[in-house]
Structure 1
Amino acid sequence: MESIVGEYLETIPTSIQVILILSFSFVAAKIIESIGYHVLHQSKRLATGEYDRIIIEELHVPLYVTIFLVGVYASARLLPEVGIGFYIASTAMSIILVLWAYATICLGGRIIGASNNAPTDREITPIFKNVLTFLVIVASFFLLLGIWNVDVTPLLASAGIIGIVLGIAAQDSLGNFFSGISLYLDKTYKLGDVVQLESGERGTVIDMSIRSTTILTRDNIAITVPNSELNSKQVINESAPVRRRRIRLDVGVAYGSNLQQAKEALLKIAEEEDLILETPGPVVRFQEFGDSSIVAQLQCHIEHPALRGRARHFLIERIDERFREEEIKIPFPQRELTFYESGNTVRFEDGNEQVAFPNSVSEDIAEQNTDD
């Protein structure tokens, strides 16, 4: 069949062959356009398939334009004038290349945007879009030079030298860029997470860019940290893997107190506080025999790490109030100081320590204490 068509075309004048090829490519392009329009507006599957619709929307126009331009390219190859045919064919191929490069950038950008729904993903999406755009433009540029028979060897050599120079000059920026990509892929943190840096700063992540991350402290101070520094140092994410966090509050209970009564009071206080989660419920653990008291630790959970300071504040207020009502003492450290006179010196005894002063110095101390 192909040989018959080829023999038939050879008997037709070149001008007629060109017209036939252009007409056929135009008709084929219109058919593809009509099919794409029908699929986009009639398919129920595409209404629910986001990626399918994106692909059809971005590719159906380049597809039918490419079919028509292929016909132009094939027609130009038949022209007897070598110069005219070359320029027409190269122009058609250049248009096809630019059209598909643009479609690739748009398609890739929309797919990246559709796949990243979280706030952090939306912030980091421009990085991937920019990388895709850069790669497509560079590849398209060299392909265009090849279409027009331009020798790219000198350009490649120059680009290599320029790349080395730029790499040395912008090594900090490149380090921050790749560190930002690494932090995103590792899911170290995302927008809204409460993090604590190795240097001690603690705050909420409010911005993630290609170069740095901005953290807002509780004092409303914005700290901008380069991504390379975050990637090389320890970062404590208090919001991962879940935002729920446990807080511990140590309370001293005086020796001789009813420990069961103190435990029930602490649990009741935690259950009544709105900031404390019901599940998991609060617990009380007695930690140790301290110097002045038995240390009871109230352990409870809050919904977000940012609520830690407020929750501790309300708990301390309520514990002090409830312990006063139930006459549960919270002792404070007390030290006994005794002194006695022996000869010309006065000895002060504080626990196991003894300090001796001359009698004149002790008199001065006694006078100062009398004046106070």
Structure 2
Amino acid sequence: MAYVRPAATFLAGFVLLLSIRHLLLRWVKRHAAAPTGFASIVSESIQFPSFLWAVVGALLIAIRFAPLTEKQLDLTEKAVIAFLIVSFSLATASFSAKMLAVFGDRQRMPMVVAGMTRTLTYVVVLSIGALTLLAYLKLSITPLLTALGVTGLAVALALQDTLANFFAGVHILVEDPISVGSFIRLSTGEEGTVTDIGWRTTRVLTGQNNTIVIPNTKITSSILTNYSLPDERVVVDIAILAGLDADPEQAMALMVDEAKKQHDVLLDPPPLAFFDPGATPTHLQFKLEVGTARRIGSGYLKSRLRVAILRRFREEGVPLPAVTVVAADSGAKH
């Protein structure tokens, strides 16, 4: 019977605090201007921690009516406050990481949006929370730091590749050779759009809608082409063939005219046609250079241009390369 009153107090306090939590979260969501607004991020960050805070609050009220000794009461209060410090640290870390992501997206700062930045935010906030907890419990951190130093050395030796990728990721974020949203191509052939720069790997989305996971050290040690710098505009080359009897000036004029009709061809820089490499024993070869807003989709643009130029050549009577038929020797004796 001694614990009936504390149990009833706990249930009543928990229901009351849970009701207050529910009303507050509804009020915050109602006043949220956008899914990425301040109020929405606060609501999302405290969704689960606030439930735990209701449990802890009810427990703090209930233990006042429990038949506990002073020592037991003191230990219980310390455990509850330690739990609150941990839960507040987790909620603050989640809120800070999400706010950084929203801020970086609005200010167009890909470095802030990257996964590694969010990870470092968690590490910093949780480290502060851990130091606060140790200070509250009046524990000396000197032995802990000594143990961490020895352990850290052993871990560093065992995880050399992981640490190398981690510091390579930091190097990528600081130097900024690539960022989230960049279209890149490595010297090893991988290409696509960077979707995330993590603490160990960089993720690249290919044109086939596949994700390539590349270790950060491969990014920093490879020759890399970033098609998004200095801007996303690219110039693509298209080889065009015509017959030996074709008028080069007419052919180049038709190529440029067809290029200007394409909606995704830029007029600055304007399309240019070159008689390059020129005449060969079987045909005339030209090179058409066109600018487009992004490298993604340039393959489809080149295909459309080839079809359009072929159709125009036929309409204007421009000779096409002659088809050479080579008869294979069957090996039969005649």
TM-score of the two chains, using structure 1 as the length reference: 0.57
User: Which of 187, 206, 221 in structure 2 is aligned with 1:198?
Assistant: 187
Q: Could you tell me which amino acid in structure 2 is paired with residue 213 of structure 1? A: T
180-189 or 143-152, which moves further after superposition? Answer: 143-152
- Equivalent residue number for residue 150 of structure 1: 139
Which digits, 9 at most, give the CA deviation of each residue in 1:7-37, with x for residues without a partner?
xxxxxxxxxxxxxxxxxxxxxxxxxxxxxxx
Partner SS, residue 168 of structure 1:
helix
Contact 2:201 2:216 in 1 (8 A): yes
The answer as to 2:103 corresponding to 1:115 is yes
Q: List per-residue Cα deviations over 1:21-74 (Å, max 9, x = no partner).
A: xxxxxxxxxxxxxxxxxxxxxxxxxx9xx99xx99xx9xxxxxxxxxxxxxxxx
Q: Do the aligned partners of 1:251 and 1:330 also contact (CA within 8 Å) in 2? A: no
Select the structure of larger CA radius of gyration.
1
Which amino acid counterpart does residue 149 of structure 2 have in structure 1?
Answer: G
Unaligned runs of 5+ residues in structure 1 are 1-46, 59-82, 337-366
Report deviation, 1:203: 3.0
| CA offset digits 1:86-119 (Å, max 9, x no partner) | 99xx99x989977985786466435423321169
Structure 1 residues 321, 371: closer, same or farther in 2, change over 3 A? farther
Unaligned runs of 5+ in 2: 1-32, 46-70
Correspondences of 1:74-89 after superposition (within 5 Å): none
1:208-223 aligned within 5 A: 208-223=197-212
Q: 2:229 aligns with which of 237, 240, 259?
A: 240
| Contact 1:124–1:210 (Cα < 8 Å) also in 2 | no
Matches of 1:139 and 1:368, distance apart in 2: 82
Q: Does 1:306 align with 2:289?
A: no
**Contact kept in structure 1, 2:201 and 2:215, CA below 8 Å:** yes
Worse overlay, 242-251 or 96-105 = 96-105
SS at match of 1:199: coil
Q: What is the identity percentage for the equivalent residue pairs of Structure 1 and Structure 2?
A: 23
The 3-state SS of whatever aligns with 1:116 is helix
The 5-angstrom pairing of residues 189-338 of structure 1 reads 189-191=179-181, 193-292=182-281, 293-331=283-321
Amino acid aligned to 1:272:
K
Query: Match of 2:296, SS?
Result: helix
**Corresponding residue SS for 2:291:** strand
| Count of residues paired in the alignment | 282
Counterparts in 2 of 1:141 and 1:195: CA distance versus 1, 3 Å: closer
TM-superposed deviation, 1:163: 1.0
**Which amino acid counterpart does residue 288 of structure 2 have in structure 1?**
L
Q: TM-score, normalised by structure 2?
A: 0.63
Tell me by how many angstroms 1:255 deviates. 4.5
Q: How many Å apart are 1:279 and its aligned residue?
A: 3.7
Q: Distance in 2 between matches of 1:96 and 1:201?
A: 47
